[in-house]
Amino acid sequence: MSEGKVITCRAAVAWKPQEPFKIEEIQVDPPKAGEVRVKVIHTGICHSDVSACSGKFIGVQFPVVVGHEASGIVESVGDGVENFKTGDHVITLFLPQCNKCRVCQKGNSNACLEFMGAQIRGVMPDGTSRISCRGETLYTFVGCSTFAEYTVVSEMNLAKINTNAPMEKVCLLSCGISTGYGSAVNTAGVTKGSTVAVWGLGTLGLAAIMGSKNAGATTIIGVDINPEKFKLAGELGATDFVNPKELTEPVEKYLMEKYGGAIDYTIECVGQVATMTQAFESCALGNGVCVLVGVADVTALLNISPASFLLGKVLKGCLFGSYKSKDAIPQLVEDFMNNKFNIDKFITHSLKLDDVNEGFDMLKSGKSIRSIINF
Ligand SMILES: NC(=O)c1ccc[n+]([C@@H]2O[C@H](COP(=O)([O-])OP(=O)(O)OC[C@H]3O[C@@H](n4cnc5c(N)ncnc54)[C@H](O)[C@@H]3O)[C@@H](O)[C@H]2O)c1
Ligand SMILES: [Zn+2]
Ligand SMILES: [Zn+2]
């Protein structure tokens, strides 16, 4: 029985920004009050993990264990935890749902204020860490730190799932697929017969395309500088494809002309100021809605004309596809099991923890959509 004891296990540690991970033995303390220790079973590699290791992501402190797209099994729970028990199948949530803060108590937003608290500073809600390596404190990433065989999370960063759900697939509901899908069906509110354009055809953008299709959009434009992404985008619902590198004019001008200035929804899933601006410029005057999903460098600023707002354009952004994280996950798992959307097509590689640097390189070079690390 490991309950109540420190667990020594393997993890990928990022000691410094922009350096490869080192696979280390780390110590994982028992969970304190309101916390849960999870045996990680599968974890995806998301672009936010890559950005976190670049050192330009909001709040990330080093040395850190990143990773947040995980499924696992509860090993033990801390005092006062009533909704989880040893053996439960769970999914980690980078966006907490505390159910206590002002935002959680209102129905109209999912941006739990705990996200911007201790979590963004890389520690547990009590301000300390549960993970260390050779006596040195390691920081957590967005409350999850799943590139490790075990992790401790606050119960507000955890959702219980159906034990029949395939854990090697539904781990992707903990971030990439839910966020992209929700950005279309919730944040943008894509309607039947509409035209949608999506920038960036990684997991987030592809899931936005899948959501747009399920919401009844009839024209779905995939925009990416890597044309190898177009085939899968087409399989998931994209009808038109644009490679900005092949154009002789700016992509927003091309889209305005080709679609008569009538793109109802634009969704940015890259994380660069340039593509965010293109997406905003490309949505329709009068009623166009632009949704920012990509995460830009912490110092980035947008430069847009306020007149666009007077002329009816809407600019929004979302975390986790505007889903209230804990409430939404069980239903998303059921929806996947009832074939309402696809996960299999997103999983291009299966890796071991030792291959994590290779997994990062494949995501950065566009060779993978999602690599899953299997423990
Ligand atoms: N808002 C949220 O809650 C949330 C959650 C998870 C991830 N994200 C962010 O979403 C973004 C996408 O994540 P991902 O895992 O799908 O990434 P990814 O690396 O798999 O995909 C990014 C895609 O963008 C394309 N791209 C790069 N430059 C481009 C350009 N100039 N024009 C068009 N396409 C371009 C790449 O070729 C690639 O296909 C990241 O910024 C990530 O941090 C946000
Ligand atoms: Zn909250
Ligand atoms: Zn993510």
Give distance in angstroms: CA of 95 to centre of ligand 2: 9
Give distance in angstroms: CA of 46 to centre of ligand 3: 5
Give distance in angstroms: CA of 199 to centre of ligand 1: 8
Give distance in angstroms: CA of 184 to centre of ligand 2: 23
**H-type helices in the chain, by residue range?**
47-54, 102-105, 167-170, 176-182, 203-214, 230-236, 251-258, 273-282, 307-310, 325-337, 356-364
The vertex-296 CA angle with 372 and 212, nearest 5°, equals 65
Query: CA 95, 98, 99, 102: dihedral to nearest 10 degrees?
Result: -80
Give distance in angstroms: CA of 369 to centre of ligand 1: 10
Stretch 221-238: mean pLDDT, rounded? 98
Q: Is the pLDDT of residue 29 over 90?
A: yes
Stretch 320-330: mean pLDDT, rounded? 97
- Cβ–Cβ < 8 Å for 286, 263: no
Q: Which atom of ligand 1 is nearest to the CA of 203?
A: 16
Give distance in angstroms: CA of 157 to centre of ligand 1: 23
Q: What pLDDT, on a 0 to 100 scale, did the predictor assign at position 58?
A: 81
Q: What pLDDT, on a 0 to 100 scale, did the predictor assign at position 370?
A: 98
Give distance in angstroms: CA of 70 to centre of ligand 3: 10
Q: Is the pLDDT of residue 329 over 90?
A: yes
Q: What pLDDT, on a 0 to 100 scale, did the predictor assign at position 117?
A: 87
State the residue for tokens 């619902």: 237
Q: Mean pLDDT of all residues in the chain?
A: 97
Helix H, strand E, coil C: the string for 278-311 is HHHHHCCCCCCEEEECCCCCCCCCCCCCCHHHHC
**DSSP-assigned states of every residue in 302-342:** ----THHHHTT-EEEE-SGGG--HHHHHHHHHHHHHTTSS-
Q: Is 188 helix (H, G, I), strand (E, B) or coil?
A: helix
Q: What pLDDT, on a 0 to 100 scale, did the predictor assign at position 109?
A: 95
Q: What pLDDT, on a 0 to 100 scale, did the predictor assign at position 185?
A: 98
List, as own/partner pairs, every contact residues 51-58 make where C-beta atoms lie below 8 angstroms and the sequence separation is at least 24, other chains included: 51/271, 51/295, 51/297, 52/14, 52/141, 53/14, 53/17, 53/18, 53/21, 53/360, 54/17, 54/18, 55/17, 55/18, 56/17, 56/297, 56/298, 56/299, 57/295, 57/297, 57/298, 58/120, 58/295, 58/298
Q: Is 222 in the pocket of ligand 1 (CB under 6 A)?
A: no
List, as own/partner pairs, every contact residues 329-335 make where C-beta atoms lie below 8 angstroms and the sequence separation is at least 24, other chains included: 329/91, 329/93, 329/159, 329/161, 329/173, 329/174, 329/178, 330/159, 330/160, 330/161, 330/162, 332/173, 332/178, 333/91, 333/161, 333/162, 333/165, 333/170, 333/173, 334/162
If one residue of 179, 295, 347 were mutated to test the ligand 1 pocket, choosing by the most ligand atoms within 8 A of its CB, it would be: 295
Q: Is the pLDDT of residue 298 over 90?
A: no
CA distance 139 to 343: 30
Q: Is 293 in the pocket of ligand 1 (CB under 6 A)?
A: yes
Q: Which two tokens stand for residue 331?
A: 């239903």
> Dmax over Cα atoms in the chain, in whole Å?
66
Q: Give the ligand at the shortest distance from the Cα of 104.
A: 2
Stretch 20-47: mean pLDDT, rounded? 98
Q: Give the ligand at the shortest distance from the Cα of 174.
A: 3
Give distance in angstroms: CA of 323 to centre of ligand 2: 13
Q: Please name the residue whose Cα sits nearest to atom 21 of ligand 1.
A: 202
Q: What pLDDT, on a 0 to 100 scale, did the predictor assign at position 57?
A: 84
Q: What pLDDT, on a 0 to 100 scale, did the predictor assign at position 344?
A: 98
- Cβ–Cβ < 8 Å for 90, 159: yes
Stretch 101-115: mean pLDDT, rounded? 94
State the residue for tokens 């999912």: 110
The alpha-carbon radius of gyration of the chain (Å, integer) is: 20
Q: Give the ligand at the shortest distance from the Cα of 209.
A: 1
Phi-psi category of residue 357: left, alpha or beta, with phi > 0 → left and psi -120 to 50 → alpha: alpha
Query: CA 350, 355, 360, 364: dihedral to nearest 10 degrees?
Result: -70
Q: What pLDDT, on a 0 to 100 scale, did the predictor assign at position 55?
A: 86
State the residue for tokens 């509860």: 74
Q: What pLDDT, on a 0 to 100 scale, did the predictor assign at position 17?
A: 96
If one residue of 199, 293, 365 were mutated to test the ligand 1 pocket, choosing by the most ligand atoms within 8 A of its CB, it would be: 293
Q: Is the pLDDT of residue 147 over 90?
A: yes
Stretch 228-249: mean pLDDT, rounded? 98
Q: Give the ligand at the shortest distance from the Cα of 96.
A: 2
In eight-state DSSP terms, residue 1 is -
Q: Is the pLDDT of residue 118 over 90?
A: no
If one residue of 270, 319, 362 were mutated to test the ligand 1 pocket, choosing by the most ligand atoms within 8 A of its CB, it would be: 270
Q: What pLDDT, on a 0 to 100 scale, did the predictor assign at position 107?
A: 81
Per residue in 77-105, pLDDT (tens digit) is 999 999 999 999 999 999 999 999 999 99
Q: What pLDDT, on a 0 to 100 scale, did the predictor assign at position 151?
A: 98
Stretch 177-185: mean pLDDT, rounded? 98
If one residue of 45, 46, 292 were mutated to test the ligand 1 pocket, choosing by the most ligand atoms within 8 A of its CB, it would be: 46
Q: What pLDDT, on a 0 to 100 scale, did the predictor assign at position 263?
A: 98
Q: What pLDDT, on a 0 to 100 scale, did the predictor assign at position 120?
A: 86
